Structure 1
Amino acid sequence: METKWMIILLSTCWSFCVAANEFYSSTDHMTQLIDIKREFTKSLHEHTEALESEADLLRRALNALEDNFDDSPRDPEKFISNPLAAFQLVRKLSQVGAVARELAEGRRAKDTLENLKSTAQTLPSAGDVEGVVMALVRLQEMYRLDPRNISLFSETNHNIMLDPDETFHIGVISSLNQRFQYAVLWMEETLRKLSEGEEAAVTKEEVIYQLALFSHQLAVIQLPYGQEAAESDLFQSELYTRIIESIKTRDWTAKYIPHSTDKTYEALCTGKRFMMMPQRERKLVCRYRTGRGNPLMIFKEEVEWDEPTILRYHDFLSEGEIDTIKSLARPKLSRAKVIDPVSGKKVSAATRVSKSAWFSEHEDPVITRVNQRIAAVTGLDLETAEELQVANYGIGGQYEPHYDSKLTNDSDFQLRGGRIATVLIYMSDVDIGGATVFPDVGAALQPKRGTAVLWFNLLRNGNEDARTLHAACPVFVGSKWVANKWIRTHGQEFRRKCSTVRSD
């Protein structure tokens, strides 16, 4: 047990130390791992062949020393005075010495080792493994999944089945992140696989030990202490039975809730629309407008409906523009961050799992055209607007409920004002999950490639519109690409009339 997990810890620590990338927070970067695996496998093969060549050279040198040579002559001085014996001995030792020096300098495997080191720098880290596991846990929380049916949601599962060592690893990482209810479920799945005879390095005893610890953490069972613990056998059948029965009888479904206490957010992400009451739905109308370009479909509410306006424009971006923006963004993507409310610094957080890139007004003609189009549909001045942000969500990528207008320690507030409006552009479809939801309104917008969404974060009186609370649901199947523009208040004084009324 110790040897196996020591190897795992050392290998993951080594990869963590040398890895320069974080893959799990962008599905686009995750796809690069397929090529990285192929290149690393090639490098490993080449270095293995070089080492085998060295080993073969050593074996031949050793055979040369041992074959047809008297190691213990009765008269060494007389033996070595024979010029043929002297020549043979000196020649053999000289050849072996040259081999030894060559191997010591590492010339034969030096190039392949350097190549191996170079490709190893691109491998994912232990942090990526943890990131993917916690993405699985988020999906379990949101979509009510247990280990046995988590693959059923995807039609592109490719017949992937986890072995007991892999399910055990997920359980361990879940427990280290204080998600004991999921750790227990994954350990139970590991135990089931082992009971069915699947081969693994992990043993049933190790799994039972972990289950006992988790169950104790969750107060499912009470483990013995002190002298009682010293005299007890953890793996005795009675304790084993107690653990398994406690797992089977516990209502784990009660634990399948997201960290956010807003149940509407969860309901909208899972496709439930119970917050959209009939009287609200009747006031939601659909209007078509045809301009010089593609037709625009605008969803908005009647004036008397006291809700924020959410406008959606179809075919906002062309296929060519989307491909260009993605190509520009890929080399610039880095982990998206949030502002720490205490320090005011930008930090990575589990509440926002994605990578993003920023583009200035004239960085590319396509970016310029997109900004001009945003100005046209919003009627707002973009002089003080923030740069266009492009984001790609990661495995289970999400952005928990938040307000765009609420920025802690906003250094630009005095210069540009608050975020008066948000324009969100979808640059991909998402098979399952990934919707933009507004819990207070009860609306869920499923990503549609080329579509743009506009809403105002501030009321006409300048106050924050509390109804614009929104979130990006976890992506289950698919890759979610978006671009967004945050427009500031300064410069909009004559473009959006002020009002003293409390609502729009």
Structure 2
Amino acid sequence: MQRCLNIVTALLLLGQTIADRPYDEHRERYSSSTVGLLKLLELEMQFIENLKSYTDLLSAKANTLQDFIDSVDRGTEKSLTEREKYVSNPLNAFGLMRRTHQDWPKWHNYINNTVGRGKVQSLDDILAKAPDSQDMKEALVGMQRIERTYGLQAYDLAKGRLQDRQYDTQLSIRDCLALGQHKFQEGDYLRASLWYRMALKHEPEPNAEIFNEILGDPLKDLKRNYAKATIINGLMAGNRSANIQEVLDITEEAMLKSSPAELDALITELLNQSDDEMAREMSASEPSPTPYEIGCRGLYPKRTNLVCRYNSSTTPFLRLAPLKMEEVNHDPYIVMYHEVLFDGEIEELKKQSKNMINGFPEPQQENKIRQVIARHAWWWEQTPTRARIYQRITDITGFRLFAEEELNVANYGLGTVFGPHYDYTPENYETGWFLGGPLVTIILYAGDVAQGGATIFPLINITVFPRKGSALFWFNLFDDGEPDPRSLHSSCPVIVGDRWILSKWIHMVPQMFIMPCIPRKLLSQKE
């Protein structure tokens, strides 16, 4: 007895130890990048191919059993007289005895023998690589970020409309339900209500009854949840200072007192409203877009007195092959260079994806799961392509680079962003450290981004949309080495596209004999 108690105690302690272990941040996060999502797509293709092979084996087994059934089916001897006549023939009687004695056990073994055991094991192996709950949570957060940042409506997203473009894909009823449940848990009852509404209005899916037995019925409790989210949102909109717990209690009490017929009547009334009417009515309570959201939507005021020209003066080489330069802002100085990264170079750059790891916006903290902002890798290998890119960065900036300096390759995924940040650290900034602060940042865009994915500077109202092959260049420091707070910048979530970037930070100390002697900040003060 004591031995059993010791085993139980050990198992409980083991379970507690496993539960207390920190989350492994090196685990696969498919949603963090298109590189990861491609892996997940390939994994699903493997899953389907194994299922096809498995169903082929099942089908072959079913056909074999059907052949056996056809060979012995006594459906023609239906009456007692016919059956008596059959068994009174010694040939039939002996065949019946032999089959039932010798063949039945073998057919029973055949039925019990697991078909496609190897395929089942392969499916187990694939399932072990499926996204975990944290990855799924980040995918939900990514979708929420896209929806909020760009002011997209649930009824558009559900039907495949992204901004002003219609795509030939739609969300399933379970997709809509998952988004609604996530928003309800996050306390966003307005959007939860709209997503529940889209799930309720979804057309029945093919083979719904069979799939529901396996996957669960998505309509179970859906009407009740829709009514609950709508009521909570209405109460909160009517009294913004209301205590959320009190509102939840009032809503729960009201729903308990309501009859099923009353709830059905409320839901029917809500569903009879058009999607546009419902969205207008409910979005009246939404807050105004933030400066970040305005920037990501490309709604900052347009700049004037900006020109596009060929730059032929930064280095002597540019006299032979000037670069296309577009002014983005004069003070602080921000420019965009076009056609500076070519397809062959981009292909080599993307080969760094095999070394990519999860990228985080903050240092690791105990017992805290950090959100991944992208996948990234440091490109250290010195190749002719890397050397050409370094030379091109020198042609763009006029600053010297060393072959040993790093390049950072990053790839973004489903709604992932790098929030507002400086490329220097204001709290810990020191001008005397080895290379000095990051004087300049240059970002080379290496992917096609059809919608979204801009780089914004929220303090100076600048939005720059990525263009494959172009490079964005700005200063983080004044010429005297002091930080320029206007360099605060952020990425916006990609709506549609593949955001690959190559980043280079050019530090101050190696440029001391190249930079102008008079600090730019002092020049602006003199003016």
TM-score by length of 2: 0.70
Cα distance in structure 2, aligned partners of 1:422 and 1:51: 59
Paired residues for 1:454-465 under 5 Å? 454-465=473-484
Partner of 1:76 in structure 2?
A: none
**Cα shift readout 1:285-314 (whole Å, capped 9, x = no counterpart):** 433224266431334489xx6x11112222
**Cα shift readout 1:336-384 (whole Å, capped 9, x = no counterpart):** 21124x849997437x3x222210151x321222123223432334349
CA contact (8 A) 1:299 1:310 kept: no
CA contact (8 A) 1:137 1:182 kept: no
Paired residues for 1:47-86 under 5 Å? 47-50=54-57
Match of 1:235 among 257, 260, 270: 260
CA contact (8 A) 2:224 2:263 kept: no
Match of 2:221 among 180, 186, 206: 206
Partner of 2:380 in structure 1?
A: 360
CA contact (8 A) 1:140 1:256 kept: no
**Cα shift readout 1:47-106 (whole Å, capped 9, x = no counterpart):** 344456678889999999xx9xxxxxxxxxxxxxxxxx9999996698579769x94xx6
Partner of 1:479 in structure 2?
A: 498
The structural deviation recorded for 1:171 is: 0.5
CA contact (8 A) 2:324 2:339 kept: no
The structural deviation recorded for 1:43 is: 0.5
Distance 1:229 1:311, change over 3 A: closer
Instruction: Provide the secondary structure at the position in 2 that maps to 1:117.
Output: helix
Identity of aligned residues (%): 25
Paired residues for 1:12-31 under 5 Å? 21-31=28-38
Instruction: Provide the secondary structure at the position in 2 that maps to 1:114.
Output: helix
Letter in 2 for 1:118: D
CA contact (8 A) 2:189 2:232 kept: yes
Cα distance in structure 2, aligned partners of 1:490 and 1:216: 61
Distance 1:232 1:249, change over 3 A: farther
Instruction: Provide the secondary structure at the position in 2 that maps to 1:324.
Output: helix
Partner of 1:8 in structure 2?
A: none
**Number of corresponding residues:** 451
Cα distance in structure 1, aligned partners of 2:426 and 2:366: 10
Distance 1:250 1:382, change over 3 A: same
Structure 1 unaligned segments of length 5 or more: list them. Answer: 1-15, 68-84
Paired residues for 1:191-340 under 5 Å? 191-193=200-202, 202=217, 206-215=221-230, 218=233, 220=235, 222=247, 232-233=257-258, 235-237=260-262, 241=266, 244=270, 250-255=281-286, 261=290, 263=291, 265-274=292-301, 276=302, 281-282=304-305, 284-290=306-312, 291=318, 294-300=321-327, 307-326=331-350, 328-340=351-363
Instruction: Provide the secondary structure at the position in 2 that maps to 1:311.
Output: strand
Cα distance in structure 1, aligned partners of 2:399 and 2:70: 84
Cα distance in structure 1, aligned partners of 2:325 and 2:141: 37
Partner of 2:116 in structure 1?
A: 109
CA contact (8 A) 1:337 1:348 kept: yes
The structural deviation recorded for 1:215 is: 4.3
Structure 2 unaligned segments of length 5 or more: list them. Answer: 1-22, 75-95, 237-246, 313-317
Greater CA drift, 224-233 or 213-222: 224-233
**Cα shift readout 1:384-441 (whole Å, capped 9, x = no counterpart):** 9852111122123432222112277799984433222101101123211112222233
Letter in 2 for 1:210: N
CA contact (8 A) 2:445 2:502 kept: yes
Letter in 1 for 2:352: A
CA-based RMSD of the aligned residues comes to 4.6
The structural deviation recorded for 1:268 is: 2.5
Distance 1:88 1:136, change over 3 A: closer
